[in-house]
Amino acid sequence: MSLPSDFTWGFATAAYQVEGATEQDGRGPSIWDTFCAIPGKIADKTDGSVACDSYNRTAEDIALLKSLGAKCYRFSLSWCRIIPLGGRNDPINQAGIDHYVKFVDDLLAADIVPFITLLHWDVPDALDKRYGGLLNRKEFPLDFENYARLVFKSIPKCKNWITFNEPFCSSVLGYSTGYFAPGHTSDRKKSAVGDSSREPWIVGHNLLVAHGRAVKVYREEFKPKDKGQIGITLNGDYAYPWDPEDPEDVEAANRKIEFAISWFADPVYFGKYPDSMRKQLGDRLPEFTPEEEALVKGSNDFYGMNHYTADYVKHGTGTPAPEDFLGNLTTHSTDKHGNCIGPETQSFWLRPNPEGFRLLINWLSKRYGYPDIYVTENGTSIKGENDLSPEDILNDQFRVDYFRTYVHAMAKAVSEDGCKVKGYMAWSLMDNFEWAEGYETRFGCTYVDYKNGQKRTAKASGKELKKIFDEVLEKN
């Protein structure tokens, strides 16, 4: 069980979750600023206006990364810091560009390789108000292409690019359940706008086309001289059949992964949506025009993989509801015999199951021709962590065990199964704003004391990660 000596590992964050400084140096509002201001949307009534104050603490964050032994750092840019109103004809905010240029320079000076995500859910609010944001098939991809070109031109020293983080979440949580910004849903108790049966599929399609446009720009205008790589990051759980002897449960488990991951990966690798989705959704799932298919097919230099957990899956019966986005099935924490997928965490959707990580790496590798994979997020919350004393929070043995078992499972996928995993980024470098859960849920390898000036202190997990990788990395 080993990983090659050139394997890269580090940590990940996202702009809205850590930066704060939402009104500093010309930044415009994002859809998350607007969403957080709506009563009842965030569990603890907070927002990202201060978060971890990372915008003002880049030197501190780099020193932290260095102290933990990180080889790389995945972070996202705030589009509305760079183009506050978002559009291709809107003014550029040079202060925003300068901030990220310096940050990349400083990371490289510290021998930490930057992985930049162009958009991690925080769409400029002005675009949402102007033309419906992600719902606009024509305007959004063009505005994203313009933003991407500006960033590629401004930061040539970055060699690792990710267009979008988890388009599934933007589409489903933003436009079906209404759990995330901008909060669209058919449930009129939650939102005055939204069509859960159609909008998520439209948004997913537009994100794929926008991704394809940005990749085309990078490959044609920047890659020849910058020598970088570009991809998209997709999230998904592994799915076990609830009853492995029931062919319908076996089929449903596979379909669960198709509806979550292949929704985006199949168009990127094959130029079409999965047959299972087309069968259930019909004309609610958009068709690619020939131009769109040409943009999207083949638009990955690597596969960005976000992964946390697994489920047992039971097939559904009858006609699925119009708002169903799972694939006519139900998910369960126990199987037919009462076996539990893994222990509870603070996150209702997350139970550790490291074997599922190895199995999903294999599933993806076989389906997509053994691409280079970068695990761009992997980590866990801990049940009740936020209620503990700071001393007990720092001793996060549950998280240490999670990382060790997951990293070992990944190493087996590489050394024993022949999968090509090139890098791993733990979620997250530090405790931060956990979207709709506010600051009640912690995922950090570093404790952030929000009540005392966002002071950072490495937890056991942050300190142990280097040791964990030292155990499995081949020595030169």
Query: Which positions are catalytic?
Result: 166, 377
- The CA distance from 25 to 220, in Å, is 32
Which two structure tokens, joined as six digits, stand for 8? 């890269």
Give Cα 369 distance to the centre of its chain: 22
- The CA distance from 242 to 370, in Å, is 28
Residue 306: partners with Cβ closer than 8 Å, 6 or more residues away: 165, 166, 233, 234, 235, 236, 375, 376, 377, 378, 427
Cis peptide before 182 (omega within 30 of 0): yes
- The CA distance from 125 to 28, in Å, is 8
How many other C-beta atoms are found inside a 10 Å radius of the C-beta of residue 91?
A: 11
Residue type at 235 in one-letter notation = N
176, 190 contact by CB (below 8 A): no
- The CA distance from 372 to 177, in Å, is 33
Residue type at 28 in one-letter notation = G
Residue type at 439 in one-letter notation = Y
Q: Identify which of 125, 48, 136, 54 has the alpha carbon closest to the alpha carbon of residue 85.
A: 125
Residue 376: partners with Cβ closer than 8 Å, 6 or more residues away: 12, 74, 115, 117, 162, 165, 233, 304, 305, 306, 425
H helices, E strands: number in the chain: 18, 13
- The CA distance from 167 to 191, in Å, is 21
